[in-house]
Structure 1
Amino acid sequence: MPYVMRDAGGDICGLYEQPQEGYAEEFLPDDNSEVVAFPPAQGAYSIGKSTPWRRMTDEEVDSVDAAMQAAPLKQRRIYEAASYISTDDELFGTLKSLLSAVLSPGRANELLAPET
């Protein structure tokens, strides 16, 4: 099943059922050791679309904004129209992959963590 996205270090930072043009185009079988070792998704939750931006430093905002401007137009329009981000939605995975690639997988997890 999974199409994988890798971070700058070559580690998997996202799994997708369908290829994600420009992000996750590499297919690996379900039983691949890297896929099996990838952390499982936590329970579903939603966060406000502004939450990751509020959590970023000014420098991170600059880097993420540049990467988002390079993303496909359709993807940008979907993100712009959303009022929240749900882990059940493909948009969440796409955003997490982008943040992981630009910043780091750990920082992406922090930025997209549930609101308290």
Structure 2
Amino acid sequence: MPYVMRNVDGDICGLSEQLQEGYAEEFLPDDAPEVVAYQPTAVAYIIGKSTPWRRMSDDEVADVDAAMQAAPLKQRRIYEAASYISTEDELFGTLKALLSAVLSPARAEELLAPET
């Protein structure tokens, strides 16, 4: 790890253990200063897989669904089989990178925030 995704300002906005074509294609070593600075130090948590979808507007759902349909089949199957999303799982980083690219990094944070 990690493949990094960058926002329009060139800052890292997502990490993935695997290459994500169109999203996270640049590889940096784990100890790269940018990667170390980006990695969250927050406590791990789990959210229901449906939580981000419930938090999205209808327009956001359409945009995210289109991006997910363009994602590699393996990635889609892993997401479909999951019942929850854990911040400690690669799926979380992949989903965060996709949401950041389609919507914005700030909106991805809102959608993937812990359930209260």
TM over 0.5: yes
What amino acid does structure 1 have at the position aligned with 2:27?
Answer: F
Q: State the partner residue of 2:113.
A: 113
Q: State the partner residue of 2:20.
A: 21
Alpha-carbon RMSD across the aligned residues, in angstroms, is 1.8
TM-score w.r.t. the length of structure 2 is 0.86
Asked if 1:62 corresponds to 2:62, the answer is yes
- 1:32–1:89 CA distance, 2 compared to 1 (3 A): closer
- Between the aligned partners of 1:85 and 1:30, the Cα distance in structure 2 is 22
- 1:74–1:30 CA distance, 2 compared to 1 (3 A): closer
**Contact map agreement 2:15 2:94 (CA 8 A) in 1:** no
Q: State the partner residue of 2:46.
A: 46
TM-score w.r.t. the length of structure 1 is 0.86
- Between the aligned partners of 2:93 and 2:100, the Cα distance in structure 1 is 10
**Contact map agreement 1:8 1:101 (CA 8 A) in 2:** no
| 1:54 partner SS | helix
- Between the aligned partners of 2:93 and 2:80, the Cα distance in structure 1 is 16
- 1:61–1:42 CA distance, 2 compared to 1 (3 A): same
The count of residues paired between Structure 1 and Structure 2 equals 115
- Between the aligned partners of 1:19 and 1:49, the Cα distance in structure 2 is 20
Q: CA deviation at 1:31?
A: 5.9
| 2:113 partner SS | coil
Q: CA deviation at 1:39?
A: 5.5
